[in-house]
Amino acid sequence: MSSRDQLEVFPNPREDREFTIEHVHPEFTSMCPKTGQPDFGEVTLRYTPGAVCVELKSLKLYLNAYRNEGIYYEAVTNQILDDLVAVLQPRRMTVVTRWRPRGGLHSVITAEYAVAS
Amino acid sequence: MSSRDQLEVFPNPREDREFTIEHVHPEFTSMCPKTGQPDFGEVTLRYTPGAVCVELKSLKLYLNAYRNEGIYYEAVTNQILDDLVAVLQPRRMTVVTRWRPRGGLHSVITAEYAVAS
Amino acid sequence: MSSRDQLEVFPNPREDREFTIEHVHPEFTSMCPKTGQPDFGEVTLRYTPGAVCVELKSLKLYLNAYRNEGIYYEAVTNQILDDLVAVLQPRRMTVVTRWRPRGGLHSVITAEYAVAS
Amino acid sequence: MSSRDQLEVFPNPREDREFTIEHVHPEFTSMCPKTGQPDFGEVTLRYTPGAVCVELKSLKLYLNAYRNEGIYYEAVTNQILDDLVAVLQPRRMTVVTRWRPRGGLHSVITAEYAVAS
Amino acid sequence: MSSRDQLEVFPNPREDREFTIEHVHPEFTSMCPKTGQPDFGEVTLRYTPGAVCVELKSLKLYLNAYRNEGIYYEAVTNQILDDLVAVLQPRRMTVVTRWRPRGGLHSVITAEYAVAS
Amino acid sequence: MSSRDQLEVFPNPREDREFTIEHVHPEFTSMCPKTGQPDFGEVTLRYTPGAVCVELKSLKLYLNAYRNEGIYYEAVTNQILDDLVAVLQPRRMTVVTRWRPRGGLHSVITAEYAVAS
Amino acid sequence: MSSRDQLEVFPNPREDREFTIEHVHPEFTSMCPKTGQPDFGEVTLRYTPGAVCVELKSLKLYLNAYRNEGIYYEAVTNQILDDLVAVLQPRRMTVVTRWRPRGGLHSVITAEYAVAS
Amino acid sequence: MSSRDQLEVFPNPREDREFTIEHVHPEFTSMCPKTGQPDFGEVTLRYTPGAVCVELKSLKLYLNAYRNEGIYYEAVTNQILDDLVAVLQPRRMTVVTRWRPRGGLHSVITAEYAVAS
Amino acid sequence: MSSRDQLEVFPNPREDREFTIEHVHPEFTSMCPKTGQPDFGEVTLRYTPGAVCVELKSLKLYLNAYRNEGIYYEAVTNQILDDLVAVLQPRRMTVVTRWRPRGGLHSVITAEYAVAS
Amino acid sequence: MSSRDQLEVFPNPREDREFTIEHVHPEFTSMCPKTGQPDFGEVTLRYTPGAVCVELKSLKLYLNAYRNEGIYYEAVTNQILDDLVAVLQPRRMTVVTRWRPRGGLHSVITAEYAVAS
């Protein structure tokens, strides 16, 4: 279960201008629910803020909270997007997860959100 | 002959959202039907899932089954796409194969599928 | 507080032609207002000049003036854009700041300006 | 004079689907007609096949036949495109030649063909 | 003052087909009019020829003639474009200059020309 | 506390010849005892076997067991070396740990063992 | 079981001079005896010839013969060295095998031979 | 003037074994005493500890204290070495500083210390 | 047969000092005597001159003369060394040839000469 | 003729300790005496100072003074070494020049000086 409550925000300093914020966390780790072994990956968050921006340290703690949680690639990518959209209500947001090889294959999952126009 | 039956699937955890899954297998090998010598390449699968996603280990076993099969670059690329489309019924799918040099030339084959709109 | 007055300009040598100027400053440093520790980054400025271009040495001195100023990533990126737009009145301008990792995360902020058409 | 007759073809295994084939030959050499010295480059062929595909070994022999021929960059690029279009009748085709430096300058020539729609 | 007269041309071997020619000169040097010190950069010329192409050696000599000339980044980029457009009358042309760092900043200037349609 | 008991061995297939085995684990993680935050690094083990070699999967499980253990860079490097020397009794062994940046600094620790001659 | 008989030799063209020959085969594959899954690696052979050199195509066929053989990293490295030493009787020889990651770890095995002096 | 007092130490966990510790700080900045402009560089510290090791955060604060100090490349490199040798009394120590280009030249200064044997 | 006579020399400007000259020719091509197909490689010449140095353009013409000659990797490497030693009488000389892949394998041949001491 | 007089020095701040200073100038240009065309290269100076160090800006001006001088690779490398040894009287010094390709070949010249022991 995710820890959406850990995410803290601060007011967008230029809410009148559309601009883009990207945070890359190359130290993401969770557990494979099938094998019980750890997975390692890099999480990229890119968004156009609405009224608030995510505070960097709270984002790190939120992502670190997956450390001992069993969850699949596809599920964790969508979960991170859902949590951040709920808390930040951004204009647009993309989450990309890039995973280290398992059984010789490496994977990249990309999920996007945009306010309906 | 391909081994489409080896492919296993699991339900798309967010069928309501279009998102993208990419798996890269840098350890693909098959046999050249003309020379009887092995070919080596990297297979990239990128798709927007419909109701199901492909299970990673079964994808690996499916691709490994070409190991001793004689098949040309162009044919194997289209065959992988046909098998995965049949089993996954994705919204969109691309298969790219990149081959190590033969006779000094190296090749890349790209085939795509999309649900007719 | 920023030092917009340091920026010097020279006449655009070809105001009749739209062309693009990019300056990259990989030696940007400011202070984190929260921790009091220095931040390090690279600032990229890309613009289509109007009547004037920015003089390179004055741009460097302007950027160096943030050295001991406490300011957040999002704020400094927008501040640099505002100052340069005010002084240069360009046709289009983009400011990108890329930051070295803090707590394992690295960030990129992008802000753009264009004359309304 | 080019050796278009050396090119062999095989039937497109999936003529009903548009897909892309790319072959890269990094070992191309011809002669400079002006200096009599050898030129060295890399030839990339990218095409969407029609009824036939080019056989890889015959493509190599065709390209190797320029080895002792005096011909300029611009001419050889267009000649290769003309020969391959004549023999393959593809839907689309691009030829790119990238040349090693001469007098400190290096060059890239790109020529394209598409069936008129 | 530039040496447009040094540029020599030869007839476009395929004037009926639009194709692209790119020449990269990584050994460009001129003088800074302000400091009197040398500047170093790389000049890229990309164009779709009209009736004529530029002869490679004359292009090199034309670019080398800036060696001891004092001229700013923005001016030299536009000057090269003007000279080549005047002599070649191309369908489209782009000149990009990339400069080695001065005072820690490095710059890229891009200017384009196209026949009005 | 380390889990030396997890390490499994198999007989050296060529004990009469000195040869070298290197295993690199780029997915190592432990906890910082001071901050309670996770550390991430890459562990390289290089050794000349004596009577036995380490089994690869047991090595992975041994290294994964540090996942939630609080331990400093210098201590964990020496601990891994001690455990592997105790179990394998190699002729020579080196352990290198390379750590991702913390506070802008990144570190490398190297410890070696050799049978006294 | 290895296929030492496939190796062919030709006379050293300069037996009076010590020189070095290196062949790199990046397309090596064998089977893991434990999991039954394929392993992929790169084999480097470096040697100072005695009376004979190894013929390149026969070396390739010899290495390809491991394709469906179950054998461990450490064993196959020593086996290749033993076979080549037996057939070539070189002055010195090194075999290095570099393996793609398995379970997140990647390995390098190095074995050497030299005539006793 | 340097701030040697900021350096904190902790006991070497394995004083009986010679091992190596390397810390790299890519975010070093000081002031040029001649021009008054900032210099930027990367400081590498490599040492074999004696009775104590340097605490990482105090090392960072020590290096950050040069931020507004005017000092030459050669002097700062020797100063850092002197301070760390005085506080740590290591068996061996090397300090390397790598500087970003000034006037087109970039510099590397290396200073070493070893206990007299 | 090689064209040793094409090599021209000029007097060593500092015969009293031992220094090193390296020339790299990445555009070497010869013919495989077995298949009749072209081979491509890079030739590196490194030497300490005696009384004379090799003139660069004549070295290029000498190497280009192998273009249509059938010769094996091992033989051509030793032949180049023999010719250059005969003409230059250097104090020390090394010739390295690095070849593009054939049948998936790529090769490097190294031959050295030194005046007996 | 070289301009040794332009070189300025400052006192070695730690003459009692042997340390190493390296300056790299990637923007060196001179003229080929044979063709009259410019040559471009990178000059690396590495030395252990005696009583004095070379001042960076004067080194740059000294190297820039070769801009319009006709001189061969081998001669200029030895000339720079001679001038710097005469002015600095270092304990050890190495000059390396790396040249951009001419006629497809690129060259590296290395000359060293050491106080006789």
Q: Which of A26, A27, A38 sits opposite F64 (nearest CB)?
A: A38
Tell me if chain B has a CB within 8 Å of the CB of A71: no
Q: Which tokens is F7 given?
A: 């390490």
Cα I15 to Cα I116: distance, rounded to the nearest angstrom: 19
Whether B68 and B32 have beta carbons less than 8 Å apart is answered as no
Stated as kind and residue range, the H or E segment containing H59 is helix H56-64
Banded model confidence at residue I62, pLDDT cuts 50, 70, 90: very high
Cβ contacts of D49 within 8 Å, gap of 6 or more = D12, D15, D19, D21, D88, D90, D91
Q: Which tokens is C109 given?
A: 């902020």
Mean pLDDT, chain A cut into blocks of 10 residues (117 residues total): 84 93 98 93 98 96 96 95 97 98 94 85
Cβ contacts of H62 within 8 Å, gap of 6 or more = H2, H3, H4, H6, H7, H83
- Chain D hits for B114, CB-CB cut-off 8 Å, are none
Banded model confidence at residue D3, pLDDT cuts 50, 70, 90: confident
- In sequence order, which ranges of E14-96 are alpha helices (DSSP H)? 56-64, 73-88
Q: Is the pLDDT of residue I117 over 90?
A: no
Tell me if chain I has a CB within 8 Å of the CB of G67: no
Hey, is F45 helix, strand or coil? strand
Banded model confidence at residue J34, pLDDT cuts 50, 70, 90: confident
- For residue D23, count CB atoms less than 10 angstroms from its CB and return exposed for 0-12, middle for 13-18, buried for 19 or more: buried
Q: Which residue of H has its CA nearest to C64?
A: H38
- In sequence order, which ranges of E1-41 are alpha helices (DSSP H)? none
What pTM, to 2 d.p., does this model score? 0.94
- Chain F hits for H17, CB-CB cut-off 8 Å, are 78, 111
Residue that is written with structure tokens 């240069």 in the block: C88
Q: Which residue of D has its CA nearest to J41?
A: D104
- Render pLDDT for D8-26 as a digit per residue (tens, 0 to 9): 999 999 989 999 999 999 9
- Chain J hits for H75, CB-CB cut-off 8 Å, are 13
- Render pLDDT for I8-39 as a digit per residue (tens, 0 to 9): 999 999 989 999 999 999 999 999 998 899 99
Cα A74 to Cα A108: distance, rounded to the nearest angstrom: 9
Q: Is the pLDDT of residue H3 over 80?
A: no
Rounded to the nearest angstrom, the minimum Cα separation between F41 and chain G is 13
Each as own residue / partner, the long-range contacts of residues B66-70 (CB below 8 Å, 24 or more positions apart, any chain) are B66/B2, B66/B28, B66/B29, B66/B30, B67/B29, B67/B30, B67/G38, B67/G67, B68/B31, B68/G68, B69/B1, B69/B30, B69/B31, B70/B30, B70/B31, B70/B32, B70/B33, B70/B36
For residues E3 and A65, which has the higher predicted lDDT (pLDDT)?
A65
- Chain A hits for F64, CB-CB cut-off 8 Å, are 37-38
C103 Ramachandran zone, left/alpha/beta (phi>0; psi -120 to 50) = left
Cα G3 to Cα G30: distance, rounded to the nearest angstrom: 14
Q: Which of F67, F99, F102 to mutate to test the interface with A (most CBs of A within 10 A)?
A: F67
Cα J49 to Cα J13: distance, rounded to the nearest angstrom: 10
- For residue D16, count CB atoms less than 10 angstroms from its CB and return exposed for 0-12, middle for 13-18, buried for 19 or more: exposed
pLDDT > 70: percent of chain J = 97
Stated as kind and residue range, the H or E segment containing G73 is helix G73-88
Tell me if chain I has a CB within 8 Å of the CB of J116: no
Residue that is written with structure tokens 């000169």 in the block: E25
I90 Ramachandran zone, left/alpha/beta (phi>0; psi -120 to 50) = beta
Cα G65 to Cα G45: distance, rounded to the nearest angstrom: 16
Mean pLDDT of E70-79: 95
Residues of chain B with confidence (pLDDT) below 70: 1-2, 117
Cα D100 to Cα D39: distance, rounded to the nearest angstrom: 8
CB spacing of D67 vs I100 below 8 angstroms: no
I11 Ramachandran zone, left/alpha/beta (phi>0; psi -120 to 50) = beta
Q: Which of E104, J6, D39, A64 is nearest to C63 (CA)?
A: E104
F vs H, Cβ pairs < 8 A, gives 51
Mean pLDDT of C76-99: 97
Each as own residue / partner, the long-range contacts of residues A71-74 (CB below 8 Å, 24 or more positions apart, any chain) are A71/A30, A71/A31, A71/A33, A72/A32, A72/A33, A72/B13, A73/A39, A73/A41, A73/A97, A73/A99, A73/A107, A73/A109, A74/A109, A74/B12, A74/B13, A74/B14, A74/B19, A74/B21, A74/B53
Q: Which of D78, D65, D70 is nearest to D25 (CA)?
A: D65
Whether I23 and I80 have beta carbons less than 8 Å apart is answered as no
Q: Which of F27, F37, F68 sits opposite A40 (nearest CB)?
A: F27
Cα G71 to Cα G97: distance, rounded to the nearest angstrom: 13
DSSP letter for each residue of A38-87: EEEEEEEEEEE-SSEEE-HHHHHHHHHTTTT-B--HHHHHHHHHHHHHHH
Tell me if chain F has a CB within 8 Å of the CB of C100: yes
Q: Is J53 a catalytic residue?
A: no
Could you list the active site residues of D? 32, 39
ipTM surpasses 0.85: yes
Whether G77 and G111 have beta carbons less than 8 Å apart is answered as yes
Cβ neighbour number for residue B33 with a 10 Å cutoff: 12
Q: Which regions of chain B does DSSP assign to beta strands (E)? A: 9-11, 19-31, 38-48, 52-54, 92-99, 106-114
Tell me if chain F has a CB within 8 Å of the CB of A106: no
Banded model confidence at residue F115, pLDDT cuts 50, 70, 90: confident
- Render pLDDT for G1-56 as a digit per residue (tens, 0 to 9): 457 899 999 999 998 999 999 999 999 999 999 889 999 999 999 999 999 999 99
Q: Tell me which of J5, J16, J32, J53 is the catalytic residue.
A: J32
- In sequence order, which ranges of J1-117 are alpha helices (DSSP H)? 56-64, 73-88
Hey, is F110 helix, strand or coil? strand
- Render pLDDT for H42-71 as a digit per residue (tens, 0 to 9): 999 999 999 999 999 999 999 999 999 999
Tell me if chain C has a CB within 8 Å of the CB of A52: no
Q: Report the range of poorest mean pLDDT among A13-17, A106-110, F42-46, F61-65.
A: A13-17
- Render pLDDT for C14-60 as a digit per residue (tens, 0 to 9): 989 989 999 999 999 999 998 899 999 999 999 999 999 999 999 99
CB spacing of G38 vs B68 below 8 angstroms: no
Q: Which of A7, A9, A15, A24 to mutate to test the interface with C (most CBs of C within 10 A)?
A: A24
Rounded to the nearest angstrom, the minimum Cα separation between G102 and chain I is 23
Q: Is the pLDDT of residue E64 over 70?
A: yes
